[in-house]
Every structure is written in C-alpha cells, then in structure tokens.
Chains A and B, each alone.
Chain A
Amino acid sequence: MEKMIVAMQDPDMGMKLRNQRLLITVIPHAMTGHDIIIWLIHKYSVCEEEALHLGGMLVKYGYIYPLKEPRSLVLQPDESPYRFQTPYFWTSTRWPASELDYAIYLAKKNIRKQGELMEYEKERYSLLHKKINHTWDFVVMQAREQLRASKQRRKADRIVLECQEQAYWLINRPPGGPNSLQRGPGLVRGKLAINCCDLPSFLKYSEQYQNHDPIMQGCLPSNPWISDDTAHWTMNTEMVPVPTRLRVERWSFSFMELLNDAMGRQEFMLYLEKEFSAENLYFWQACEEIRHGESSKIVEKVEEVYKNFLAPGAARWVNIDSKTMDKTLEGIKQPHRFVLDDAQMHIYFLMKKDSYPRYLKSDLYKNMLAKAIVPQETKKSVFPFMRRQRHSSPSPAQAVAQATEEEGRHKGAG
C-alpha cells in the first residue's frame, strides 16, 4: 500500500496536486476523488470499478483522508477534496496506537472546544480517565503543551495537522468499533511527540513543605531527639483536643493530606454531615477497608457495602452515575478486592473537586485554624550537655491490647 502511495506522490509521474478551498482557508496539496480514480486507472491499467475499490482501501487504511466529511472514510469519485496522510501517522509506523496517545488526543479536543467530543468519544474519555488515572496529570499537561505549540503555526498548517490527526484516530479508534480499551493495559507509555516536563512542581512542593520539614526548619516546641523532650510528639498524636497550626495548615495542601490525618478526616466528616453528604466519606472508608483488608472478609464486606450504600433505598445511598452504578452492581455478583474501585474513585474525585474546596472555605475549617496551637519554642538549655530523663512510652501493641480488653469488658457487661 505504501509503495503505491509513494508512487502517487512522485513529482513527475504522480498525482497533480492543487490548492483546495475549505471554507475560508486554502489547503495546499489536495486532490479530488475523481483525480485519484483516473490516476489509478492509468497507472495500473484497471477499470473504474477496480480503481474505486483500490482507492477506497487507501482511504479506509488512512493513507488518504477526506477533507470535506472527515468521518466518512470512503472515496467519492467526484470533486471532493482529499489529502495524503503524513507518513508520521501511517498505521505501519505508529501501530499499536497507545491509550496514552489517544487520551492526549481526546483531551486536546476537549480543551480546544468544549463539547466538540462526540458521544462515543466522551464515553471513551471518561473510561480512559479511570483506567490510566495515575498518569492523568501527564495527559492534561501534554495536551495543553501540544495545543500551545500548535497555536504558533500558520492557520493552514494547523488545520492540516488537525485533519491528519483526526483521520488517524478515526481509523485507529473507530466509533462503535471493537472497543480497544478491553485489551490489557500493556506498557501504557507509548511513543510521545513531546515529553512533558513539570520540573517547577518540585520547587513548589519543597517550598510549600519547607516549614513542615523539621530538618529544614526545626520543629516546635523542640525536636525530641535534640532536647529529649517528647512534647512535640504529645502535641501531635493522632487525636488531640486541639491540633497544632502547622498540622491544620497541611490539610489545605491536598485532599490526600486531609484524609491521611485521622483528625482531618474526622473534621471533614463533621463538615459533610452538615452538608448531608457524609455517606460519601463513609463509603470511601468502607471501600478502603475492602482493598486493604483480609482476603477472607472480602465477600462479607462487599455485601455490607451493598446493603448500606448501593442498594435502592439504602440508609447511606451514594450518588454514583448510572453507568458506574450498573457496572458496579454487575461486578459485585463476583466480589473481589478491586470490585468497588470505579465507584470509590468516582466518589473520591467528587469529594475532592466539590466538598473539599468548600470545606477549606468553611467556618468549620477557619475556626479550627484560628484556635490551633502554635507551641512556644523551648529555650535552649544553659547547659546543653545536661541530659533530661528520657521517658518510655506505651508500645502501640500495648495500646491495642488495652483497647481490646476494654471492649471485651464492655461486651461482657452489656
């Protein structure tokens, strides 16, 4: 096929190319469907029917693409304009088309013109968002970078490139065609046009956390290892009546920071309860317990989750989109460790994008921050080499044993 295409573009014996008008822009090096047929007839001494069939194949496999109706991958034997696809996008050079590249392409389309994605593209976009979620930041950054680069091109060039790219993806991810997302993930990293770098993010992160880094900035009231005083640890145990200011500040750095801190999670739960959306956090926690819990308890835990969160009329029914809900309900018929992943991720991002930002602006959070403790720095001892007595602390194992003992006593009494 490629030999044929090369012959078609031969400067002496190849197709006559001319400028074609597409709306208000002039596209260079285009040809008509009619010209293609004629050329094929003469070159290969075939009849019109065969030429039409042959030409149709060239379009179907993406070596030639239509300009007027890009989604109609057929060869019209009339004045319809066509162009040669650049070798960069030939199926042979870029097979297999990677999920990552497709995600970047869809992201570009989405950013460029809101709603330009077709229905099937929107579906695939959200599927990909879940599937390769761990590299999603990268996808969006790549898309933005490529769009920025394309803005610097001449309009005609830009349109040509967009057509080429669109044609490529129409061939490699046809609408309604075999959903290639069913294939295993494989090596997600495919060939990339530009490698995306966000090195300044390292600077930002280090700067943001500098005050929280005891080695960089010290800690209040003092570093226990230096002063032999465990006050710093006592003030920062998992549950305290009043947390320190640095700790509460950290909850605003990212949703993950808030959830990773038991007190933060507790506060967030209070907020969600006020908003009548606490079921989201309860659901997320229940899913975490399944993901990280004993294999033997998975079946019973999934059943509990269904009863409490997913069943119609459930006490803590969670609002998941119908597609995810259907898929989840189907999946829990054969429960496994990751069966609730999609639903969990949906709820996680819902909380992250919606409730979390509002929590940070709420009075609940602001009051927490205002009354948080800023410990006084311990003045360094006059005799720095005098050692304070180092007190031992209860072993975590001891704390758990005591708690279980108490639980047992209460159960006995009740």
Chain B
Amino acid sequence: SCDFAPSGSFSPFRRLPLPAKRKYMRSPLSPEMATQEVPLNETLAHLKTESETLKLKLEEERAKLHDVELHQVAEKVEGLGQFVMKTRRTLKGHGNKVLCMDWCKDKRRIVSSSQDGKVIVWDAFTTNKEHAVTMPCTWVMACAYAPSGCAVACGGLDNKCSVYPLSLDKNENLAAKKKSVAMHTNYLSACSFTNSDMQILTSSGDGTCALWDVESGQLLQSFHGHAADVLCLDLAPSETGNTFVSGGCDKKANVWDMRSGQCIQSFETHESDINSVRYYPSGDAFASGSDDATCRLYDLRADREVAIYSKESIIFGVSSVDFSLSGRLLFGGYNDYTINVWDVLKGTRVSILFGHENRVSTLRVSPDGTAFCTGSWDHTLRVWILMC
C-alpha cells in the first residue's frame, strides 16, 4: 500500500504552475472625472500627466478601502484569555492513518474512515465501537454521517460514494445493504449530505463536484470550474440553502449555486492547494486551510479575503479547519502534528495543542460546540475540550 497521500499524479489534471497573481479589476476613470472643467490653455501632454497622477491617487484611495482587514476593525475587541486544553477521549481501533471523520447530530457519535479501508462508527462519549465496515478499496478519504443518524456515506480511491444504512443487528453485515450513489472518474475527496438523507454532495480528484439523489443514484447537478482536483467542500447555512463552497488544487475556492450549477463567486489568494473549507456560522463568510501554511477568511459580501491566519513559525500545511459555535475561534489541524487555535477577529494565535504523533488529517467541532474531534495519521482520533 502506498504511504503517501494521493497527489496530482493520480489524476488526469497535473498540478498547474503558479499563475500570475490576479489583480483586482480596476475601473476606468471615475464618473467624477467627467465633471471637471478642461482648462483650454494647457497642452495635451500636461493634461495627460495630470490625468495619470489623478488615476494613481484614485488607486491609492481604492487600495486603502480594499485593504481594511478584520483585525483592524476588531482592535477594540477584548482579547481572549489563556486556554486550558485537554484530550478527553482517545479512540483507538483503526489499523492505519485516519483520513476523515464526521459528527452525528446527536452530538456524541462519530464516523471515521481510514487508509486501511475501514469505516468505524463510534459512540465517542463511551469510546465504544458500534459499527464497522470494510470498504473494497484503500484510502477512504471521505465519510459523512446522515442527518437522521441512520446511515453513513463514504468513498475514496474507488471513485465512488456509497451509503450504508446503520443496521441494529450486530450479526448483519453492513456491506450487504450498501448503496452505490456517486460515480466520479477519479478519487472521492469529500462528501456531505444536504439537509436530508436523500441527497449527497461530492467533490473529486476529477476536478468536479456533484449533487446526487441517494435513492436512485441519479446525478442531479454537476459543478465544473475547478482547473484541478477538488479537495473539499462545505454547505452554506443560509436561509435559502442553495449554495456551497469548494476548494481545490488550483488554489481556488469557488462558491456554487446548487440549482443552476453555476459558479457565483471565486477566490484565489492562497499560494497552494486548499485542503479544507468551512463556512463561518452566519454564512456570510468562509475559512480555508491550505498547503501554504495559512488559513484565510473570505467575506462573501465584500467579495474578498478579509483575514489571514499565519505565523512565521508555522511552516507546515493546514489539512482541516472548523469554527467554534460563535465563530470567535478557528481551529486548524496541521501537517506538523499540531492544532493551532486562532482568534478569528483579532487574527492572533491563542493556543497550540500537541498530542498527535503524526499529521492531523481531519478536524470537526461537535454540533453543539462542546468539543472538537481530530483524526490523525497516527491511527487515532482524539476528542478535545478547550476551556477559556
């Protein structure tokens, strides 16, 4: 078995070279320019230089507006005190790297998947294993709990996403009732149920995302626009519930309309693969974590990046991010085995957590915000509590 994460060489899309940084679109002269009187005495050349100077001044003023960052607005906000953090549960049972996990809506159960093909459902509170499935493939990179708590979805190098209803009969082989739902042409990187057990959203190394009807396996909508593998996705907690964000190896984070399949917004400020995206609880923004060792916050209304969470001492990539319930804290799991906790508003790092003995590959805050869980290449999962 391979001991490294699937890279672009698995996929038909080779990693793209660094393109030139996209500049903000600059509008031509502002409407106000039109009302200025044209002094007839001056020569054309002089007027041209004057117009250029004014243009530059305009750009400067514009740049000032663009560069207002969240931490500047949050200067007067009270800083956070010292955090006490502990691992409260360690879940042992996987035989190889843990790649993904998800919480059940009951706030205590989780599903996790691993490189050895095993998918396990745990009651994390008691640490009991409740179900286990062996997938026909290795590298199960994606798993998700159904909203009802009655099924789980998973997939990976099999290019599929399958749904397993959770049987109560201990003797029944879960694999018997397995339903194949999604079919991609490359590895499955992430999956998520929408508001019900009936629809699944997937992202894949084939560069696309897709929405599927679970019952029939029918493709309801596909989303094209990424130029390389799509690595992550998250559904928006909005009133109209129609959008989601995805992140990819093309360094882009795209926001999609689920009904039309259109990309409605795109953000490209990361300098490497985006491994994780997560919406801010209000739905007005989302955070991303990347191989460039930074996390960033993108405001959907302002249509730009408004915060960057980085430190010179942090040089390893971020594999996964999630917010605390109020959105004040951002947790990041890193490839240097640590978890960094960020003050979202002030942009500062408030805590660093040690414990795992290998990469942190997945991180999710529990549905009621009482704890967060991490999965690691050290074969374990940990449930952490943080006390302010």
Which chain A residues have a beta carbon within 8 Å of chain B's beta carbons? 11, 28-29, 84, 86-89, 93, 133-135, 137-138, 141, 153, 156-157, 160-161, 164-165, 184-189, 191-203, 205-206, 208-210, 212-219, 223-226, 230, 232-233, 236, 255-256, 288, 291-296, 337-338, 341, 345, 348, 352, 390-393, 395-398, 400-401
Q: Are B27 and A203 in contact (CB under 8 A)?
A: no
Contact of A205 with B282 in the complex, beta carbons under 8 Å:
yes
10 A-B interface contacts by CB (under 8 A): A88-B33, A157-B32, A187-B263, A199-B299, A210-B326, A215-B385, A225-B89, A288-B195, A348-B239, A395-B149
10 extra interchain contacts, Cβ-Cβ under 8 A, other than A195-B303, A212-B369, A352-B239? A133-B240, A213-B325, A213-B369, A224-B125, A225-B371, A230-B125, A296-B216, A391-B126, A393-B108, A395-B130
For A160, list chain B residues within 8 Å (CB).
34-35
| Option from B29, B40, B199, B329 in Cβ contact (under 8 Å) with A215 | B329
Interface residues as binary, B19-48 with A (CB distance below 8 Å gives 1, 0 otherwise): 000000101111111110110100000000
Is A396 touching B148 in the complex (CB atoms < 8 A)?
Answer: yes
Residues on A with beta carbons closer than 8 Å to the beta carbon of B213? 294-295
Tell me if B299 and A295 are in contact (CB < 8 A): no
Interface of B is mostly: loop
Nearest B-chain residue to A226, judged by Cβ: B385
Residues of chain A contacted by B28 (CB below 8 angstroms): 87-88, 93
- Whether A390 touches B326, Cβ cut-off 8 Å, given contacts A164-B31, A215-B386, is no
Asked if B79 CB lies within 8 Å of chain A CBs, one says no
Give the interface of B toward A (CB within 8 A): 25, 27-35, 37-38, 40, 65-66, 68, 70, 73-74, 77, 88-89, 104-109, 123, 125-126, 128, 130, 148-150, 165-168, 194-196, 198-199, 213-216, 218, 220, 237-243, 257, 259-260, 262-266, 280-282, 284-285, 299-304, 306, 324-329, 344-345, 368-371, 383, 385-388
Interface SS of chain A: helix, strand, loop or mixed? helix
| Complex Cα gap A285–B125 (Å) | 33
Does B344 contact A292, Cβ atoms closer than 8 Å?
Answer: no
Query: How far, in Å, is B153 (CB) from chain A's closest CB?
Result: 15
Report the bound CA distance from A210 to B282 in whole Å: 13
For A12, give the chain B residue with the smallest CB separation: B40
Counting residue pairs across A and B whose Cβ atoms lie within 8 Å, the total is 249
B residues within 8 A CB of A164? 31, 34
Residues in B whose Cβ lies below 8 Å from that of A197: 65, 68, 299, 301-302, 306
A216 to B328, CA, bound (A): 8
**Contact between B35 and A390, CB atoms less than 8 A apart:** no
A126 to chain B, nearest CB (A): 16
Q: A138-B301, A185-B257, A392-B123 known; A87 and B29 CB under 8 Å?
A: yes
From B34, B105, B108, B385, name the one whose CB has the most chain A CB atoms within 10 angstroms: B34
Known: A137-B301, A396-B104. A185 touches B27 (CB 8 A): no
**What residues on B are CB-neighbors of A134 within 8 Å?**
238, 240, 242-243, 257, 264
- Evaluate contact between A236 and B68: CB separation under 8 angstroms: no
Contact: B40 with A226, CB < 8 Å?
no
How far does the Cβ of A391 sit from chain B's closest Cβ, in whole Å? 8
CA distance A393 to B123 in the complex (A): 8
Across-interface contacts of B165 in A (CB, < 8 A): 397
Cβ-defined contact, B302 with A196, below 8 A? yes
Least CB separation from B384: chain A residue = A225
Contacts of B282 in A (CB 8 A): 201, 205
Query: Across the interface, which residues of B come within 8 angstroms of A187, CB to CB?
Result: 262-264, 266
In angstroms, Cα B386 to Cα A230, docked, is 18
Q: Determine the chain B residues whose CB is within 8 A of the CB of A341 once the complex forms.
A: 259
Chain B residues, CB < 8 A from A391: 126
| Chain B residue with Cβ nearest A256 | B239
CA distance A228 to B315 in the complex (A): 37
The 9 A-B pairs with the shortest beta carbon distances in the complex, nearest first, are: A396-B149, A86-B34, A209-B326, A213-B326, A292-B196, A199-B73, A138-B301, A295-B213, A213-B325
Q: Contacting B265 at CB < 8 Å: which of A189, A291, A294?
A: A189
B173 to chain A, nearest CB (A): 16
Q: Is the CB of B368 within 8 A of A214?
A: yes
Contacts of A189 in B (CB 8 A): 264-265, 303
In the bound complex, residues from chain B placing their C-beta under 8 Å from that of A11 are: 38, 40
Q: Nearest chain B CB to A340's CB is how many angstroms away? A: 12
Closest B residue to A293 using CB positions: B198
Contact in complex: B196, A215 (CB < 8 Å): no
Name A196's contact: one of B40, B264, B301, B370 (CB within 8 Å): B301
* Nearest Cβ on chain B to A100's Cβ, whole angstroms: 10
Known: A185-B264, A295-B220. A206 touches B345 (CB 8 A): yes
* A282–B26 alpha-carbon span in the complex (Å): 48
| Minimal Cβ-Cβ distance residue in A for B302 | A197
A163 CB → nearest B CB, Å: 10
User: What is the distance, in angstroms, from A229's C-beta to the closest C-beta of chain B?
Assistant: 11
Residue of B nearest to A139 (CB): B301
B110 to chain A, nearest CB (A): 13
Give which listed residue, B38, B89, B195, B285, contacts A202 with CB less than 8 A. Answer: B285
Point out the residues of chain A lying under 8 angstroms from B106, CB to CB: 393, 396
Taking a contact as CB atoms under 8 Å apart, the answer to whether A392 and B329 are in contact is no
Identify the closest chain B residue to A401 (Cβ).
B168
Task: Check B150 against A199 for contact (C-beta < 8 Å).
Answer: no
Q: Which residues of B contact A398 (CB under 8 A)?
A: 168
Report the bound CA distance from A202 to B302 in whole Å. Answer: 13
